[in-house]
Amino acid sequence: MHWQNKSLQLRHLDAGSCNGCEQELTALTSQAYDISQFGIDLVASPRHADALVVTGPVTDTMIKPLQKVWEAIPRPKRLVALGDCAAGCGVFQKAYACHGGVASAFGSPDLVIRGCPPQPTEMLEQLKRFQNNSQTATESGL
């Protein structure tokens, strides 16, 4: 295993949520969960990211910024739908300004973490599995 494949750098973007998922995602960086001890970090720049984590439904005002962030992430890149709204089945599903979940803008995400909002422990376990699966795919050339 190469040392550069041991970490998972995540760029988060709120596409129009109620902020419940953001609060739980932020909790992962606290001392209680400390995701950085597992090599998982939230990064400010999409150019430093391995994956894009989207929360909320894709709204009219956020579809272009979302696409720009996605384009700025270097390949190979992954897409994570965090929460029911990003998965396309949340409370904003039929709102007039919403296009649906991330699948409506990008196709199927590589990881869907369901919940309204998902619990930090569930997010952590799924992100750790995702990190391990991403490493395996990178090592095999996928």
pLDDT above 60 (res 140): no
What is the pLDDT, as a whole number, of residue 90?
A: 81
Strand partners, 8: 40
- pLDDT tens digits, residue range 12-66? 999 999 999 999 999 999 999 999 999 999 999 999 999 999 999 999 999 999 9
CA distance 9 to 11: 7
CA distance 33 to 36: 9
- pLDDT tens digits, residue range 98-133? 888 899 888 899 999 999 999 999 999 999 999 998
Query: DSSP code of 38?
Result: G
The more confidently predicted of residues 91 and 4 is 91
Residue 122, class by beta-carbon neighbours within 10 Å (0-12 exposed, 13-18 middle, 19+ buried)? middle
**Residue 78 contacts residue 51 (beta carbons within 8 Å):** yes
CA distance 65 to 55: 14
What is the pLDDT, as a whole number, of residue 99?
A: 84
What is the pLDDT, as a whole number, of residue 133?
A: 86
Give the predicted TM-score (pTM) of the model. 0.89
Residues near 24 by beta carbon (within 8 Å), at least 6 away in sequence = 117, 118, 119, 120, 123
Full set of structural domains in the chain with CATH? 8-131 (3.40.50.12280)
Residue type, 122: E
What is the pLDDT, as a whole number, of residue 108?
A: 94
- Mean pLDDT value of segment 94-100: 85
Q: Omega of the bond prior to 65 within 30 degrees of 0, cis?
A: no
